[in-house]
Chain A
Amino acid sequence: MKPLKQKPKRRGKLLALCYAAALLVWLALCGARLALDTAHIGSGELPRLELGFADFQPSGLFDGAERDLPGTIISTDPDSQLIYEQAGGFYATRVVFDAAPLNKGAGEIVLYYTTRPADSAGRPQDFSEARKVWARQDAAGRWVFDLDGRKVYRLRLDPDTTGGVVWRFNGVILNERVPVAFYFLPDLRQGVLLALLPLLFWAALCELLAFLQPLLARRRFERKWGEMGNP
């Protein structure tokens, strides 16, 4: 029953192949995104915009200047929102919320986006949990959302889920430029997945081969030896 044994060497090679393939897929995806963004920047469709409080439609938020706290915004509601839209839609990469909660915790800082224009009746697409990005924090302590260069129609920034937060607010940057290396460096989650998924894929492939190989091998075996009556 020689052909039915597992061959460790070949399995090892297969594992290396899985990792190589994952790396290639990763590089290809990153390269594609970089190329797309570069093209959009070249055609002027991806301008870097600095937005102030006045550029948003706020809800549950007011300018701290009204309470003698210039340079701040104050949320009054656990569901406070800053909505930004451009009628024809726009490409969005990195959105930076340059702000810090001063008096209490923020809970969650998230960004919703819509990917379809308003319908014929003029109703915009609803924001949904499926189109939501969670804030990361960069080295300077600013809150960062990556929208991956997709075309969006409206953005909704929810600064906090606690209400009553006084925010030091330096504005929002739309399409912050990032260095090329950023496109290729995985974050923690991507890094862990890049390390684990090829292994899982390899294991699944091995299971599939363990199922198929003996079937194939036996057929080959029978074709070769069966007619001689000497299996």
Chain B
Amino acid sequence: MNVLLGLLSLAALSLFLSWLLRRPAGLMPIVAVSACMLFFTVAGCLGAVVPGALFAGGVLWYVLCAAALVFTLIKLRGKIVSLFTPAFLCFLVGSVAFVLLFALTKPMLTQWDEFTFWGPAAKVTSTVNTLYTMADSSLIARSYPPGLIVFSYMMQFFGGFSEHGYIACFAILYLACFAAAASVWGKLKSATIVFFSALVCLPLLFEFNLGAGQMMRAYLSCLADMPMALLFGGALCFYFAGGEKGARLMLPFGLILGALTCVKDMGLALAFCALFIAALDMLACEGGRLGFYKLRRGAAFWANIGWGVLMIAGCYLLWWLHLSTAAEINRFQLDGSGQMDTVTMLLTGVTMLLGVDRSPQFEQVLSDMLRAFFTEPVGLLGPGMLVLCVILAVTLAAFLLSATKRQRKRVLVFTLAAAFCFVAFYIFNIFTYALIFNPGEAAMLREYNRYISPYWVGWLMGALVLLGRAATYHKASFYRLRLGRAVSAGVCLLLVAALALRGNGRANFLNVSPATYTERENLNAVAAAANAEGAAAEDRVYIISQGDNGTRFYMFGFQLRGVRTRLFTGIERDELGQVVYDEEGKALVSGNVAVTLVSYEKPAETYGPYDVPCNPEDLAIYLAQMGCTHVLVDVVDATILEDFAGMFSDGLAGWDGLLGRGNSYYKVTWEPNGSCLLVPSQTGGAA
């Protein structure tokens, strides 16, 4: 419920911005969200120099928003009511509804990526009031951009981190983007409601990675892909629905592009796409109307573009600077089989595309990607080809219904620019598959729709807004306007109907099965047991969870408050079975990320993907080297019970491998002879 305070600050800022920028309030939530992301990104990065900057930023943010609200109230008095346009009301009511719904149903995080980054990063940032890059935590990957994390930090500034609050933040962000699009309808209530309903269906219709028979995770998922997609669409909608193109539109537009860059690495590409589309539109359709304060025409154009580029590049470079100085991570280094940086990837990709020295993987990916466009379903609607048809149909309707030549030209330019960017975006993705992914992942086009769909979503939103514009143009003839409204409503209802038909039978955020959370509940019980046995914030913990594939390891990293978890990576041994040491006398780790310990006697060819050979001596070396202070016993099997029981002072009493549980939390102690003894940390003695 603390999220409601964050929402209040967004609403206050939106009202103020609406007055300041002379635009309908419905357009402003997306600007407020973007401003928040940029403000806290800067504050968070400042934290590397000035400790506590993030927290101070939070206080300042709320003070500023309160001041903005008071100012707007005094300035406008009774007239403030007129700011509450239907789109803005949809945003407010929808957001409150989502916050209440999630406070009631208490959804939890369940997906892998939510535990490797998005969940723990947000939690640690909220808990220690420092950006996750600099906080001492279990996080392994830290280089992801911070937009969503700091947004959650602001929203949950009071009352601390909660999973359902975090999930609600994402819904609020989505609705802010939808409100910007729905603002095109001005004061028309019913048209706004129909339009907004269709947009609310979009995340469900374009759900990424929806497996056969799986529940729909849209609105429950805390990954960055959908926020990025909707911010991209929202930026386009903001530009096209926002009215006259001057500094009052283009300055906040730049903020949205900056936020897009801060949400996910790929957001950089999409931000440039949005800027490119806007630039062509200004060039072709605005001409003399364009302004930027006192600048006109060409100068205004370059000022607008320059501001956009400045925001995008500024955000990107700020984060790069922060990573390389504060966190010592090279952002330009892309992970993967290719081990190449972005620029090399682009150059190599272009030469290969032109037919020079094509690698087999490139040939393969190229043909697969072309085929995937026609066959691979993106979301519930169908393959990209079909989505393109839907978008083009909407665009055609917008074109035919446009009242003026300029308006028709605008639709045409938008379509050409968006298509051009799509081709570029698609080719960029071909490069990443061909040059960055390992061959196995590239062959199956791993997570194809997660990478491609964001563009479809944004393009469709933009097309819908152009249709709305055609139907609300004040000088258009009476019948054209009525027809435009009817066609737009028809398209929106078709989208809602498509969701009802294609998504029928799948569980979604309204009727998510509680069985989805049994894994978490089971794990939370173990974590609670560990806490009861004396787990403390400064502990370094090694987790024994046999048969795990890493899921439970990362879940513990998220769940155990303040506790740092460690992952066993195997100890290097030579042919004679001797431990290999480096010059500093440290045992070499073999580097396999593995979670299931198996005996050296097990034949190597029978290893599972997460198995690593280990004996008590290895484990002791590892615990010493990693500075582990405690061991958490989660799941044991015969290997642990037979080979490792001797390390435990209670001999793992109570554990029998299936249901019997003994102590969960053991303290690492060292005997005078150097051997390791794990003692139940419970002060009251063994259970």
- Which chain A residues have a beta carbon within 8 Å of chain B's beta carbons? 4, 11, 67, 69, 101-110, 129-132, 134-137, 143, 162, 164, 166, 187-189, 192-193, 196, 199-200, 202-208, 210-211, 214-215
Contact = CB atoms under 8 A, between A and B. Distances in A.
Contacts of B519: 104-107, 162
A203 B212 CA distance: 34
A69 B656 CA distance: 12
Contact of A134 (B190, B193, B496, B513): B513
B294 to A, nearest CB: 41
Contacts of B658: 67, 69, 103, 166
A207 B486 contact: yes
A188 B511 contact: yes
Interface stretch (B12-20, B330-338, B520-528, B566-574): B520-528
B515 A135 contact: yes
B594 interface: no
Given A109-B513, A210-B482, A203 B190 contact: yes
Contacts of B504: 130
Contact of A108 (B189, B489, B513, B547): B513
Interface string B627-642: 0000000010000000
A4 B482 CA distance: 11
Interface string B657-680: 011000000000000000000000
B486 A208 contact: yes
Interface string B176-203: 0000000000000111111001000000
A36 B274 CA distance: 57
Given A104-B522, A189-B508, A202-B190, 8 more contacts: A104-B635, A129-B212, A135-B514, A136-B511, A188-B105, A203-B192, A207-B191, A214-B482
A105 B189 CA distance: 46
**5 tightest Cβ-Cβ pairs between the two chains A and B:** A105-B519, A206-B190, A203-B193, A207-B489, A189-B510
13 contacts: A67-B658, A105-B522, A106-B518, A132-B213, A188-B105, A192-B510, A193-B510, A203-B191, A205-B190, A207-B191, A207-B486, A207-B489, A208-B489
Contacts of A131: 505
Contacts, number: 115
Contacts of A199: 193
A162 B635 CA distance: 15
A106 B513 CA distance: 11
Given A204-B489, A204-B493, A210 B515 contact: no
B576 to A, nearest CB: 37
B625 interface: no
Nearest to A8: B189
A101 B485 contact: no
A203 B547 contact: no
B636 to A, nearest CB: 11
B124 to A, nearest CB: 24
Given A130-B505, A137-B514, A166-B659, A105 B489 contact: no
B293 interface: no
A130 B197 CA distance: 25
Contacts of A193: 510
Contact of A207 (B485, B517, B521, B547): B485
A109 B522 CA distance: 15
Given A105-B521, A204-B489, A211-B485, A188 B659 contact: no
Report which residue of A101, A200, A202 has the largest number of chain B beta carbons within 10 angstroms of its beta carbon. Answer: A200
Contacts of A132: 213, 505
B516 interface: yes
B197 A200 contact: yes
B507 interface: yes
B518 A101 contact: yes
A107 B518 contact: yes
B194 A200 contact: yes
Given A135-B514, A166-B659, A105 B520 contact: yes
Interface in B150-172: none
Nearest to A102: B659
Given A103-B659, A135-B513, A203-B190, A211 B486 contact: yes
Contacts of B635: 103-104
A219 B514 CA distance: 57
Contacts of A101: 518, 522
Nearest to B514: A137
B5 interface: no
Nearest to A168: B659
A131 B504 CA distance: 10
B195 to A, nearest CB: 9
A152 B510 CA distance: 26
A186 to B, nearest CB: 11
Interface in B453-487: 478, 482-483, 485-486
B141 to A, nearest CB: 24
Contact of A188 (B191, B194, B493, B510): B510
B388 interface: no
A69 B659 CA distance: 9
A207 B659 contact: no
A200 B496 contact: yes
Contacts of B520: 105
Contact of B515 (A108, A200, A202, A211): A108
Interface in B198-227: 212-213, 215
B485 A203 contact: no
Contacts of A135: 513-515
Contacts of A164: 547
Interface string B93-104: 000000001001
B553 to A, nearest CB: 14
Contacts of A103: 522, 635, 658-659
A129 B213 contact: yes
Contacts of A129: 212-213, 505
Contacts of B521: 105
A101 B519 CA distance: 9
Interface string B64-107: 00000000000000000000000000000000000001001100
Contacts of A104: 519, 522, 635
Nearest to B661: A103
B146 to A, nearest CB: 31
Contacts of A69: 658-659
A193 B508 CA distance: 13
A61 to B, nearest CB: 15
Contacts of A166: 658-659
